[in-house]
Structure 1
Amino acid sequence: MIKQLTRTALLATSLLTAASVGAQDSARVTPMTPDVVDKYEQTLPSADFIRREAMVPMRDGTKLYTAIVMKKGTRNGPILLSRTPYDAHGSTHRVASQRIVDVLEAMDAEFVTDGYIRVYQDIRGLHRSEGQYIMNRPIVGPQNDTGIDESTDAYDTVDWLVKNVPESNGKVGVIGSSYLGFTTLAAEINPHPALKAAVPESPMVDGWMGDDWFHNGAFRVSSLDYAVGQATNKADGGGEFALGSGDDYTRYLEAGSVADFSKMLGIQTYPGVRKFLENPAYTDFWSLQAVDKWLGARPLTVPTMLELGQWDQEDSYGAPAAYRALEPKDTRNDMVTLVIGPWRHSGANHTAYDLGALNFTGDTALEWRTRYVKPFFDHWLRGTPDPHTPPVLTYATGVNHWNESPRWPMGVATPLYLAADGKAAFERPATAGHDDYVSDPARPVPFIPRPINMSDAKQWKPWLVHDQRFVSDRPDVVSWKTDTLDKAVHIMGAPQVDLYAATSGTDSDWVVKLIDVYPNDVPEGAEQGGKPSMAGYELPIGIEIFRGRYVASFAKPRALKSGKVEHYTWALPNVDHVFLPGHRIMVEVQSSLFPLYDRNPQTFVDNIMYAKPGDYRKATQSIWRGGANASAVMLPIAP
C-alpha cells in the first residue's frame, strides 16, 4: 500500500514537472519577443502600506481620480483628505519605496503612522480627473450657475469615502496649503456631516487684495506662468515658457507692459491670462470670488485651524482674512484658531529649522504639527480629550518661542512717525516737510539682487527675509531709522501704513518696508552652518505695495493730481516679532518692486495692463512728514 502511494505521488510529481516545463516552453522568449509590459507595480507585497485608486463620481457624473493610502492593519481610522491641482498620483508616489513615510508627503508621517487614512484627489479637469478645470472655481451663485463647485465636489467626495473605505471610522478632516488651502476652505461651505475638522494652510482667499495675482492692485507678473502652466495639458506639463536662461529683470523690462509680454509669449488669448488683462480693478469679477466673503455669509460649523507663514511670499493675505470672517462666529472661542509660524509659503509642511539667513530653535514646523495639528485632528476625528487648542498661536521671531494668545491682533496700534534727517520716532514731528526721490520706470528697483530667475526656488522661497542693504544706496529708495533701541519692542498684528505722499505724475506705486536693523558690531548668528553673519543685517519684517490709482476706490481707479498730497492706508503682513535692544527699526519707501510686480507707468491710463512705451515716465515722489501730513507706520505693540 505504501509503495502504491509512493508510485502515485511520483507520477503526480512527474506530471506537474512536465506541465511546468511545457508552460515554460510555450512562454519561452525569443530575440523578437516584445519587451513592453503594461505596468510595473512598485508597491510590493512587502510594503508596509496599502494604496488604492478610485475614480470617485460627482453629482454631475464627472469622476475624480482619488488615491487612498494607509498603513497595513489600519482599522477604524480617521480620513485625512486633500483636494489638489498638483497631481494626487505624484503626491502618493514621492519616492519609490515600500515604506509609507517615504511615499507620502513629509507632513503626512505623523498621521499615517498613527492609523490615519490619507487621501489625495485631483480636482476636476486636472491630471487624472475628468471634467473642466476653472482656476479658483467660483462658488455656486452669481458667477456660477452650474450647481457644481469645489464645495459640492468636496461634499460628494467625503460622502463616497465614508461609504467605500471600510477601514475608516466615518470621520473626515481636510487639510492643504496654497491652492489646497482654497479647496480646504471651500469644503467648509455647506459641509458634509462627516467633515469634522479643517486645517487650511496659506489659503488662496482673495487673489486681488493680497494673494497670488495682485496685491492692492499691483499685478504679479509671474501669475502668467502659473495660469498657463495649470491650463496646459491638464497641468501635466507643456506650459512652460521657453525663454532660456538670463536675467528676468532685463527680460521683463524689455518686454514692456503685461499685455506686451503676453503677446510676445503668444498667450494673450488664453482664458486665464485674459482674466488678468481684462480685469485690473477690484470689480465684482474679483470681489465675488473672495472666499472670506463666502465664509462670512454662512454659519461656522467646522472647527478650523488657519495657518500662514510670517514670510509667506505668495498668500500672506488669505488666512488672516478668513480669520476675520470666521472669528466673530466663534462665540465660545474654541472653534477657530489662527497660526502664524516663522515660515515661507507652505513651509509648515516641510522641515523648518531656518529660513534664509535666520536660524530657529529646532524644527518649528514639526513642533507645530506634532504639538498642535495632530492633537487637534485627534480630538475632532477620534474623540480624544480636548487639547485646548489656543485661539491664536504665533511664533515670536527675534526671541524664537511660541506664544499662545486669546485673540488677534494682540498689539495696540502705535504710530512710528517719519521725521526729518532720516529719523523715525514715536513722537509726532513738530515740523512738517517732505523727502523726495525720482522714480524711473526704465530703472525700477529690483525685489532681490540681480540676476533674477523667477523660477529659481532658492531665490523665490526666502526672498522676504533677504538683507535689504542691496538697495540701501539707491537714490530712489528713502529710509528712516529709529535711534538704537534701549528696550525691546514687541509687535503682534499687522502693521498699518499711514502714508501721505505726492507725485509729479498722475499714477504711482508705493512700496513700504518695515525692517529690523541688526547691530553692526555684534556677531549675532555669525557663521553658523555656513550662514552669513547677521551683523548689520537689514531683516524685512513686512513688505507690501499699494497702487496709487486705487486711493479712493479699489473698484474705480482714478488719476492722481500732480503735486497733490494723497493719504494712503494699507496693511503690511501679520507678524509676531521682537525688535531687540541694540537694534533699530527702519521704514523704507520706494515706488517699484520689479519684476515681481509690473511697473507703474506713472502716467494714468485706463487699463494699466496695456500701457504704451510713451506712458512710462519719470516722476518725482514726495513723502510727507509732520504737521497735518504726518506719515507713519502703525506698529501693533504688545504690552
Structure 2
Amino acid sequence: MNKAFLASALLALTGLYASAGLAAPPADAGHDRVTPDMIQTGSDIPAHWKQPEGNFDYTRREVMIPMRDGVKLHTVILTPKDAKNLPIILNRTPYQADGCAPNNSPHLVDAVWSGMKAWADGSFIIACQDIRGKYGSEGKYVMTRPPRGPLNPTKTDDTTDAWDTTDWLVKHLKDSNGKVGMIGSSYDGWTVVMALLHPHPALKVAAPESPMIDGWMGDDWYHYGALRQINLDYFTGQMTARGSGQSVPRENYDDYTNFLEAGSAGAYADAHGFKQLPWWNRFAAHPSYDAFWQLQALDKLVAKHPSNVPTMWLQGLWDQEDIYGAIHAWEALKEAGHGANNHLVMGPWWHSQINRDGWHIGPLKWPGNTTAQFRQDVMVPWFNHYLRGTPMKQPLPEAMIYNAVEQHWDRFNDWKVASRQKRTPLYLQAKFGLGFETPAGGSDSYVSDPAKPVPYLPRPIPAHDEDRWRTWLVHDQRFVETRPDVLSYVTPVLTKTVTVQGAPIADLYAKTTGTDVDFVVKLIDVYPGTVAGDPTMGGYELPVSLDIFRGRYRKSFAHPSPVPANQVQQYQFRLPSVNYEFKPGHRIMVQIQSSLFPLYDRNPQTYVPNILFAKPSDYTKATITIEHGAQGRSAVLLPVVAGTED
C-alpha cells in the first residue's frame, strides 16, 4: 500500500468526522495513525495451523489405513511420549474416531473420553478407527455389515477390516510390542466380536462390552418379535449422513402421544421418510426370525467359529439396550466347549456404564465406584497379563457377577448356562398370591386396549431423556400396579432369603379373545413399607428381571401363526439372567401386562402378516385370561439356589 493512498484515506476520514459534527482526530496523534501492518486484506485463518505440542505427554496423528480392497479407513493414533515396546488398544467405531480424544489437553488422560481413561496412563498406544463408510473413512456403510457369505457377497466385512487394521498397526507402529487388545461397547462391541470370527495373530485379548449380538432375539431392534420402536431415531441418526444425522422430529413433547397418534411403527417410519433408507426397507421386510436375522446372529457364529483369544464378555444387569448379547454369546461358546478362554462379567450397570462412573444406578447406590474399581482391579490387569505377560493376583473366574443386594462381586468357577439350570416354579395363586406351593386353581382376566397401552415409564416420556432412559429398568413399578390391565401377584412377606442365580423363565398359560397377543412379565423385589436409612425406598417395587414376548411366535420364531381365540396356549420365554437375593421382610412380585409403550410397538391383537404395517382397523381390544389351575399352572420358573425357597 503506498503513502498517497494512506494520505487520501486519512483525508476522507477527516471529512466524515466533520460531516457528522464531530471533531476530527488530531492529524499528529501518532497512536491513531493507520500503518500498513494494521490492514489485513486476506483471511485471518491461516492455511495450515500447527499447534505447539512441546508440553504434550503424547502425540496424536491421523492415518488412512488401506484395506485389502483398497478402501482406506480413518484412524486416530495416540502414542505416549517416549513410548517403547507398548501394547496397542484398538477401538473400531461408527461414532467418530475423533471422539476417542475429544479434549484438547496436553495430558493424554485428560484428552480421551471416559471410556478410554483406563488405557491412557502412558502404558498403551491407543488406536481408534472409523468403520468403513462413516465419518473420515472411505467405502460404503452397511448397518452391522453381515459377515461374508449369503448376506454379504463382497470380499470384505468387519472381520477382514479388523484383521487388516491390526496387521497395519503392528507393522507400522515401531513403538509397539506387536500385541493388540480390542475393546468396544454396544456397536463398538459388535466390531470386537466380528474381529474374533477370524482374529489376527497379534490380537491377544478382547473385551466386547454390551455388544450387539442378535438384534431380533433381544438386543437393539426386537425382543422376541416385539419391535423396540423408539430406536427408529437411531436409523436416521446413523444413516441419513456420513457423519451424525438427525433424530426424527417430534410433534409433541410426550413420545407416548407421538407414537400413539402415528398408528403403526411402519406408518410412523413412512411419515418420516424412512423408505429412503435401504436398511429400513430390508429391516421392514423381515419382521420374523428368518435367514436375514439368523445368518447374522453372532452368538451362533462365534460358537461355529470360536477363537483362542482370551475374551471378557461384559454387560450390565440392567442393560436397557443390549441385555441379550454378551451372556448368550458366552453361553454359546461354553456349550460348544470353548469356556476356558471366555469369561462372563455382569455388573450393576446400565448400558455401557462400564465406560463411565458406577456409583449408582437410579436409586440403587453402591459402596464405591464399581466401574472404576473393576477396570483398575480386574480389567486392566487382565489385559496386561496377555499384552505384557505380567502376572495377575488371582486368575479370572469363569464368571464375575455383582450381587446388588449384598453389594459385592460374586466369583463363579462354574456358572451354568441357562439350558442346564435347575428351576423351581413360583406359581401364580388365587387372590393374586404368589408362592412355591402348587396352586389350587382359578384364573384372572384383564382387558388389553391398544388405544390405552401401558407405559414403560410415567408420562410424559420425552424423547432423548438420557437419565430416564438409562435407568428405566430399575424404575419403581407402583406407577402401573393399580392399572386394571396389569396383574400383580405377590408372595407373603419372606421369612428367609431366597437366592436366585441364573435365567428365570416366564411360563404362562393364557387365552385371549383376539388372534395375537403380547406378554410382558416382570420379576420384582417389593421392599418393606419403611426402609431405615433410606425412606424413599419404602415400598419400592424394584424390577429384577423383565422382558416382552410376541404371542404369534409361541411355536416358532421363524414361522409365526395366529393365536386361536379363546383357547389356552402356553407362552414360555427366558427373562434376563440375575444374581439376586430376596431378603426377609421383602416380598416377591410378578407383574403381567400386554404392552410396554412406546418402547415397544403395539400389538393390534388381530393377526396380520406384518405388524409393522397394521392398519388402524386392525387394533382391537382383547380380554386376556391368565390360568393358574386345571388348564395350566402359570409360573415364573426361578433358578433358586437349593435350600433358599421359602
Per the normalisation by structure 1, the TM-score is 0.92
- Give 1:192-231 correspondences, 5 Å limit: 192-231=200-239
Q: Is the alpha carbon distance of 1:558 and 1:44 closer, same or farther for their aligned partners in structure 2, counting shifts above 3 Å?
A: same
| Residue number in structure 2 paired with 1:4 | none
1:406 aligned to 2:413?
A: yes
Helix, strand or coil for the counterpart of 1:233? coil
Instruction: State the aligned residue count.
Output: 605
Q: Is the alpha carbon distance of 1:37 and 1:321 closer, same or farther for their aligned partners in structure 2, counting shifts above 3 Å?
A: same
Distance, in Å, in 1 between the alignment partners of 2:641 and 2:75 is: 46
- Give 1:155-554 correspondences, 5 Å limit: 155-237=163-245, 239-243=246-250, 246-329=253-336, 333-386=339-392, 387-409=394-416, 412-429=422-439, 431-526=440-535, 533-554=536-557
Q: Is the 8 A contact 1:259 1:268 kept in 2?
A: no
Distance, in Å, in 1 between the alignment partners of 2:635 and 2:375 is: 37
Distance, in Å, in 1 between the alignment partners of 2:638 and 2:285 is: 37
Q: Is the alpha carbon distance of 1:153 and 1:497 closer, same or farther for their aligned partners in structure 2, counting shifts above 3 Å?
A: same
Paired letter, 2:225: G
- CA drift at 1:27: 9.9
What whole-Å deviation, never above 9, does each CA across 1:490-511 have from its counterpart, x for those lacking one?
1111111111111100001000
Bigger mean CA deviation after superposition, 383-392 or 543-552: 383-392
Bigger mean CA deviation after superposition, 514-523 or 380-389: 380-389
Q: Is the alpha carbon distance of 1:40 and 1:469 closer, same or farther for their aligned partners in structure 2, counting shifts above 3 Å?
A: farther
- Give 1:41-120 correspondences, 5 Å limit: 41=50, 44-93=53-102, 95-120=103-128
| Residue number in structure 1 paired with 2:630 | 627
What whole-Å deviation, never above 9, does each CA across 1:235-291 have from its counterpart, x for those lacking one?
333x32222551110010000011111122122342122223211100001111101
Q: Is the 8 A contact 2:510 2:627 kept in 1?
A: yes
Q: Is the 8 A contact 1:415 1:632 kept in 2?
A: yes
Distance, in Å, in 1 between the alignment partners of 2:341 and 2:192 is: 16
| Residue number in structure 2 paired with 1:530 | none
2:591 to 584, 588, 591: 588
Distance, in Å, in 2 between the alignment partners of 1:101 and 1:235 is: 26
- CA drift at 1:524: 4.9
Helix, strand or coil for the counterpart of 1:140? coil
Distance, in Å, in 1 between the alignment partners of 2:363 and 2:90 is: 34
Distance, in Å, in 2 between the alignment partners of 1:27 and 1:204 is: 62
Paired letter, 2:211: P
What whole-Å deviation, never above 9, does each CA across 1:528-557 have from its counterpart, x for those lacking one?
xxxxx1111000011100000111111111
Q: Is the 8 A contact 2:221 2:231 kept in 1?
A: yes
- CA drift at 1:459: 1.5
Helix, strand or coil for the counterpart of 1:268? helix
Q: Is the 8 A contact 1:92 1:103 kept in 2?
A: yes
Distance, in Å, in 2 between the alignment partners of 1:426 and 1:29 is: 88
Bigger mean CA deviation after superposition, 298-307 or 207-216: 298-307
Paired letter, 1:54: V
Paired letter, 1:450: R
Paired letter, 1:422: F
Q: Is the 8 A contact 1:125 1:131 kept in 2?
A: yes
Distance, in Å, in 1 between the alignment partners of 2:585 and 2:81 is: 56
Distance, in Å, in 2 between the alignment partners of 1:432 and 1:317 is: 34
Helix, strand or coil for the counterpart of 2:74? strand
Helix, strand or coil for the counterpart of 1:637? coil
What whole-Å deviation, never above 9, does each CA across 1:389-413 have from its counterpart, x for those lacking one?
1110000011111000012248631
Helix, strand or coil for the counterpart of 1:638? coil
What whole-Å deviation, never above 9, does each CA across 1:124-159 have from its counterpart, x for those lacking one?
000100000000111011211101000000000000
Helix, strand or coil for the counterpart of 1:593? coil
- CA drift at 1:172: 0.4
Helix, strand or coil for the counterpart of 1:442? coil
Q: Is the 8 A contact 2:251 2:258 kept in 1?
A: no
RMSD over equivalenced CA pairs, Å: 1.7
- CA drift at 1:385: 1.7
Q: Is the 8 A contact 1:300 1:329 kept in 2?
A: no
- Give 1:2-13 correspondences, 5 Å limit: none
Q: Is the 8 A contact 1:155 1:191 kept in 2?
A: yes
- CA drift at 1:329: 4.7
Q: Is the 8 A contact 1:248 1:454 kept in 2?
A: yes
- CA drift at 1:372: 1.2
Q: Sequence identity of aligned pairs in percent?
A: 49
- CA drift at 1:40: 4.3
Q: Is the 8 A contact 1:70 1:115 kept in 2?
A: no
Helix, strand or coil for the counterpart of 1:435? strand
Helix, strand or coil for the counterpart of 1:234? coil
Distance, in Å, in 2 between the alignment partners of 1:230 and 1:489 is: 44
Q: Is the 8 A contact 1:418 1:626 kept in 2?
A: no
Paired letter, 1:185: V
Q: Is the 8 A contact 2:253 2:463 kept in 1?
A: no
Q: Is the 8 A contact 2:190 2:213 kept in 1?
A: yes
Q: Is the 8 A contact 1:479 1:588 kept in 2?
A: yes
Per the normalisation by structure 2, the TM-score is 0.91
Helix, strand or coil for the counterpart of 1:412? coil
| Residue number in structure 1 paired with 2:559 | 556
Q: Is the 8 A contact 2:198 2:307 kept in 1?
A: no
Q: Is the 8 A contact 1:300 1:330 kept in 2?
A: no
What whole-Å deviation, never above 9, does each CA across 1:359-400 have from its counterpart, x for those lacking one?
011011112111111111111111112541111000001111
Bigger mean CA deviation after superposition, 408-417 or 586-595: 408-417
Helix, strand or coil for the counterpart of 2:633? coil
Distance, in Å, in 2 between the alignment partners of 1:485 and 1:39 is: 71
| Residue number in structure 1 paired with 2:151 | 143
Distance, in Å, in 2 between the alignment partners of 1:280 and 1:374 is: 41
Helix, strand or coil for the counterpart of 1:578? strand
| Residue number in structure 1 paired with 2:28 | none
| Residue number in structure 2 paired with 1:598 | 601
- CA drift at 1:44: 2.7
Distance, in Å, in 2 between the alignment partners of 1:270 and 1:102 is: 38
Helix, strand or coil for the counterpart of 2:39? coil
Paired letter, 1:232: T
Q: Is the 8 A contact 1:482 1:585 kept in 2?
A: yes
